[in-house]
């Protein structure tokens, strides 16, 4: 760019670079986080025009108040059985995360990602959908599989990439694929699941089916082109889709401001596309359930897609490869104003008289033992460092229905060279 003459009567231009609230060693300040009273947001009819629900993109749908009581029009009034199953599944997800995190530190797998503090954004959402609705998850939605009853051992086999891994070691650990539970293959490429979900939902509508699609991404991924392409198609074709944005404040070491959080909410992106937008307390399981239920009914009745921003916080590192103490205050997680989703739901069901601390402690112990047993069972199939778990030639398979001639030649050459190099 050529330098032009400066105009002395104008101030020089300045570039704004977003900065997070605090860095390591700084005091934590969440004073700019506005938390409206639980129950203060109106609940419109599912058929409402997106133009008449603008406030719901800037407020915060909350059901559980400071005393953990369900209040307001968004209260889904769930039966005790559903509440306790949601609590148990979120607790199971956390127990699973703790065990597999330790397994990675012990060298049994190469990689793991926890969803601590975000369990409600997957478990409560799954609870509000039909079991055969198609889900297109990101990499922190393991709670969906647990809600839908997938075997823990199968999940751990995939994480260990062992001989029991149905994906034959071809996927990064935690990137599950369970088509029999309508759980689409997780991709490490950001936001690819968004256009896939919208396309699947469009196909469902073309066929006259009754199933809808739901997808998830982090707030940082909304800066990807795939996100905006999906929003355009969802708006134009009225695709029966729920588009979830899990705003957990951090995209690895980049805080949400780099994705636009300083300018507006992520739910507000729905307004420009003419679709419904909801901003929800992502640490309130009842609010997540209610918002997802609302969006699902809207999609199922052909009223269009909904973008839901789950306002939450990533309590742990981005992955086992990340050290959050290098870029954020160590006190942030403890001072997050919306609390912990498991604790809040636990206190709610205790307040209803259907649960107590003793049963909760016993459940936590039971779930830890359940995960431990599943881990030991999976380890019988091998862990990282135990050698090759799948036959060597499987690297050439499962792409084409019939292996083409050039891959047959490459496989034969590779097997010959391998036998020569490692005769035993």
31 occurs within a structural domain: no
Is the residue at 159 inside a domain? yes
In a domain, 5, yes or no: no
Strands 306-311 and 276-281: parallel
If one counts the domains in the chain, the total is 2
pLDDT value at position 8?
A: 79
Q: Are residues 284 and 409 in the same domain?
A: no
Look up the CATH number of the domain holding residue 76: 3.40.50.970
- Which domain, by its residues, includes 116? 50-321+333-379
| Two structure tokens written together for 173 | 């650990």
Q: Answer whether residue 112 is part of any domain.
A: yes
Question: What pLDDT, in 10s, does the model give residues 345-382?
Answer: 999 999 999 999 999 999 999 999 999 999 999 999 99
Residue 387: inside a domain, yes or no? no
What pLDDT is recorded for position 186?
97
pLDDT in tens, 119-147: 999 999 999 999 999 999 999 999 999 99
For residue 73, tell me if it sits in a domain: yes
In this prediction, residue 310 carries a pLDDT of 98
Specify whether 170 is located in the same domain as 288.
yes
Q: Are strands 306-311 and 241-247 parallel, antiparallel or unpaired?
A: parallel
Q: Do both 298 and 407 map to the same domain?
A: no
User: Looking at residue 4, what is its pLDDT?
Assistant: 67
Going by the DSSP 8-state scheme, the letter that residue 244 receives in this structure is E
Q: Are residues 82 and 195 in the same domain?
A: yes
| Average per-residue pLDDT for the chain | 95
Kindly give the pairing relationship between strand 276-281 and strand 213-218: unpaired
Do both 279 and 397 map to the same domain?
no
User: CA-to-CA distance for 251 and 258, rounded, in angstroms?
Assistant: 9
Q: Are residues 134 and 202 in the same domain?
A: yes
DSSP-derived secondary structure for 303-327: S--EEEEEE----S-SSTT--GGGT
pLDDT the model gives residue 2: 61
Q: Which residues of the chain have pLDDT under 50?
A: none
Element (H, E) at 242: strand 241-247
Does 339 lie in the same domain as 411? no
Question: Looking at the structure, do residues 402 and 365 belong to the same domain, yes or no?
Answer: no
Reduce the DSSP state of residue 198 to 3 states and report it. Answer: helix
Q: Are residues 345 and 396 in the same domain?
A: no
355 and 400 together in one domain? no
Residues contacting 81, CB < 8 A, separation 6+: none
Same domain, 238 and 262: yes
Q: Is 284 part of a structural domain of the chain?
A: yes
Q: Does 4 reside within a domain? A: no
Shared domain check, 396 and 316: no
């Amino acid at each position: 760019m050529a330098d032009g003459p400066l105009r002395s009567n104008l101030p020089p231009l300045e570039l704004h670079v977003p900065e997070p609230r605090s860095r390591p060693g700084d005091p934590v300040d969440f004073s700019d986080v506005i938390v409206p009273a639980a129950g203060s947001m109106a609940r419109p009819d599912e058929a409402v025009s997106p133009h008449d629900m603008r406030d719901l993109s800037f407020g915060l749908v909350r059901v559980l108040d400071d005393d953990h009581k369900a209040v307001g029009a968004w209260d889904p009034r769930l039966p005790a059985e559903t509440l306790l199953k949601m609590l148990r599944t979120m607790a199971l997800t956390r127990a699973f995360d703790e065990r597999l995190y330790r397994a990675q530190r012990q060298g049994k797998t190469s990689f793991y990602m926890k969803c601590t503090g975000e369990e409600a954004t997957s478990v409560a959402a799954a609870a509000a959908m039909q079991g055969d609705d198609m889900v297109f998850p990101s990499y922190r939605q393991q709670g969906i599989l647990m809600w839908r009853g997938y075997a823990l051992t199968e999940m751990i086999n995939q994480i260990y990439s062992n001989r029991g891994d149905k994906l034959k070691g071809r996927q990064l650990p935690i990137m599950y694929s369970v088509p029999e539970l309508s759980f689409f293959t997780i991709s490490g490429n950001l936001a690819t699941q968004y256009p896939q979900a919208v396309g699947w939902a469009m196909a469902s509508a073309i066929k006259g089916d009754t199933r809808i699609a739901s997808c998830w991404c982090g707030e940082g991924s909304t800066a990807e082109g795939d996100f905006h392409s999906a929003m355009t198609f969802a708006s134009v074709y009225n695709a029966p889709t729920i588009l979830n944005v899990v705003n957990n404040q951090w995209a690895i070491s980049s805080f949400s401001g780099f994705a636009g959080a300083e300018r507006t909410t992520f739910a507000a992106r729905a307004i420009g596309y003419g679709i419904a937008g909801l901003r929800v307390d992502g640490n309130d399981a009842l609010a997540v359930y209610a918002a997802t239920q609302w969006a699902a009914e809207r999609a199922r009745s052909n009223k269009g897609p909904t973008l839901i921003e789950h306002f939450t916080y990533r309590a742990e590192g981005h992955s086992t490869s990340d050290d959050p103490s290098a870029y954020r205050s160590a006190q942030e997680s403890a001072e997050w104003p919306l609390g912990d989703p498991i604790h809040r739901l636990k206190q709610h069901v205790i307040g209803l008289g259907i649960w107590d601390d003793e049963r909760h402690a016993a459940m936590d112990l039971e779930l830890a033992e359940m995960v431990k047993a599943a881990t030991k069972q999976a380890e019988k199939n091998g862990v990282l460092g135990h050698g090759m778990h799948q036959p060597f030639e499987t690297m050439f398979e499962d792409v084409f229905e019939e292996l083409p001639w050039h891959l047959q030649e490459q496989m034969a050459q590779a097997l010959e060279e391998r036998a020569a190099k490692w005769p035993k």
